[in-house]
Amino acid sequence: MSQASDLNSVRQPITSANGLANPHYIDPRIFAEERDALLFDGWAGLAVVEDVPEPGDATPIDFTGLPLLLIRDRSGDIRVFQNICRHRGMILVDAPRKIEGAIRCPYHSWCYSPEGALVATPHVGGPGQNIAEGIDRDSLGLIEIRSHVWMNTVWINVSGTAPAFEDANADLIARWADFDRPLYHGGADSRFDLDVACNWKLAVENYCESYHLPWIHPGLNSYSRLEDHYHIEAPQRFSGQGTHVYRQLKSESGSCFPDFDRIDARWDTAAEYVALYPNVLLGVHRDHTYVILLMPDGPGRTTERVHIYYSQPETDADLRQRNARQWKDIFVEDIFVVEGMQRGRNAPGFDGGRFSPAMDGPVHLFHDWVAGRMLAHQERRLAAE
Amino acid sequence: MPPNETRDTRLAEALALGDTAAIVKVYEEAAEAQGNDQASAFFLTQAYIHAVEAGLPEARNLRAKLVKMGRETMR
């Protein structure tokens, strides 16, 4: 368990706070504790709706060791279930596939509808007898995980205890109301993964701040200086940065991506980049949005799943590929610093570090959120014992 | 009733090819060839499950047969 004394040193004003101590980035026990307190207790990002584009599509997702099944049911609704048979806990689906009629467990062939109902239990009462006392199909359906879709992202609350997504995130939803509309995934050339040797929280912390931009992303210096950026700070919910000088990508002929229809004029030159706690990084612009799902794979490894969206289903392919490449180049520039910070967490002299009061506000807020959630989680656990 | 080699071969081929319609057909034939309800219901169940998984229309009739035999739930 992480020490309360360490966490309390994080929950201080930015001028005196330390960052989270090393074990929060390298200790498997604290990784497991954070999994429950940060990822499972709140609304975490799991996937995008395009991962299951058609009714009947199903794809398994391992979420920090939790076997999940993402399905688009026959009504077209997105559902998330635990990917296990209620009989003997066998994994039901091990690769993306279309469910034509039912999900059949590969072990004893219990069958589930795409809506999660248990519809068949072959030979459960003996050969040729598909009924048995005590096997109540109505109570043995797939275990559903609360889910919600926003910005084409599938959010899950594993604990089942979080407030409704739209209540928990009302302020960001309102802030970005201009983007609450159909978003069109750019397709195969607008999605990519980055496998990074760092704790997922370091990716959040780096994303939140503009302080590193002049050094790590020098290509931005010519048109998006440090002073053109502003902090976005919503304690206990999200933080990040915005820019006043977003510049649209142009084709050789001078055309741009089409804007989102009737978007507010403030987005003409503004763009915002927010980490919605715990694990989703979002970017919004007048002509495209993106989502980065941070998928933790142990204390020191994370897969970043990037998806880019546009205002129309069809966009210029060359421009789209340039945009994806540009964002990928920028995100790749961050890799050596997040991996370097991860390696640095093995230095026993590092005390979690300190924050620049002027430049690290959004980062400090994330650390404070983590520490607060961990302390609350520990208190609940102690109270339950 | 001794195993039917032709049917076994057809079943093996159908399973190897993933030909669900053929799998269901072989199991249905096997069900009809049995001399008692339990053996028949076993093969009907095999046919039914494959049909359910694949969303084949045969699933409805197969289920109805099993329900009539008291070997499947009404719904």
> Each residue of A289-346: pLDDT tens digit?
999 999 999 999 999 999 999 999 999 999 999 999 999 999 999 999 999 999 999 9
In single-letter form, the type of residue at position A311 comes to S
Interface contact A101-B45, CB threshold 8 A:
no
Give pLDDT, residue A13: 97
The mean pLDDT of A207-216, rounded to a whole number, is 91
Give pLDDT, residue A1: 60
Between B75 and A234, where is the model more confident?
Answer: A234
Give pLDDT, residue A225: 80
CB A90 within 8 A of CB A109: no
Q: What percent of chain A has pLDDT over 70?
A: 99
> Where does the pLDDT of residue A187 fall: very low under 50, low under 70, confident under 90, or very high at 90 and above?
very high
CA–CA distance, A44 with A39 (Å, rounded to integer)? 6
CA–CA distance, A227 with B44 (Å, rounded to integer)? 73
The mean pLDDT of A170-199, rounded to a whole number, is 97
Tell me how crowded residue A68 is: count the other CB atoms within 10 A of its CB.
Answer: 22
Chain A residues with CB under 8 Å of B72 CB are 130-131
Interface contact B51-A101, CB threshold 8 A:
yes
Tell me which residues of chain B, numbers 11 to 70, contact chain A at a CB-CB cutoff of 8 Å.
Answer: 37-46, 48-49, 51-56, 59, 66
Give pLDDT, residue B2: 47
* pLDDT tops 50 at residue B1: no
Measured CA distances, B10 to A109, A206, B17 (Å)? 21, 60, 11
In this structure, the strands spanning A229-234 and A238-243 are antiparallel
Chain A residue with minimal CA distance to B75? Answer: A119
CB A103 within 8 A of CB A58: yes
Q: Does A122 touch chain B (CB under 8 A)?
A: yes
Tell me how crowded residue A232 is: count the other CB atoms within 10 A of its CB.
Answer: 20
Per-residue pLDDT tens digits for A13-36:
999 999 999 999 999 999 999 999
Give pLDDT, residue A385: 86
Which candidate from B40, B44, B53 shows the least CB-CB separation from A101?
B53
Chain B residue with minimal CA distance to A56? Answer: B55
Give pLDDT, residue A2: 63
Give pLDDT, residue A24: 97
Give pLDDT, residue A149: 98
Tell me how crowded residue A77 is: count the other CB atoms within 10 A of its CB.
Answer: 13
CA–CA distance, A344 with A158 (Å, rounded to integer)? 32
CB A181 within 8 A of CB A264: no
| Nearest CA distance, A141 vs chain B (angstrom) | 14
Per-residue pLDDT tens digits for A120-148:
999 999 999 999 999 999 999 999 999 99
- What are the b/e assignments for A153-172, b being 16+ CB within 10 Å? bbbbbbeeebeebeebbeeb
Chain A residues with CB under 8 Å of B67 CB are none
DSSP states along A35-51: IIIIIISS-EEEEEGGG
Give pLDDT, residue A218: 87
* pLDDT tops 70 at residue A54: yes
Q: Who's near A365: CB < 8 A, 6+ residues apart?
A: A208, A233, A234, A235, A236, A239
CA–CA distance, A130 with B62 (Å, rounded to integer)? 13
Tell me which residues of chain A, numbers 128 to 187, contact chain B at a CB-CB cutoff of 8 Å.
Answer: 128-131, 137
Closest to A285 measured CA to CA, from A300, A306, A264, A254: A264
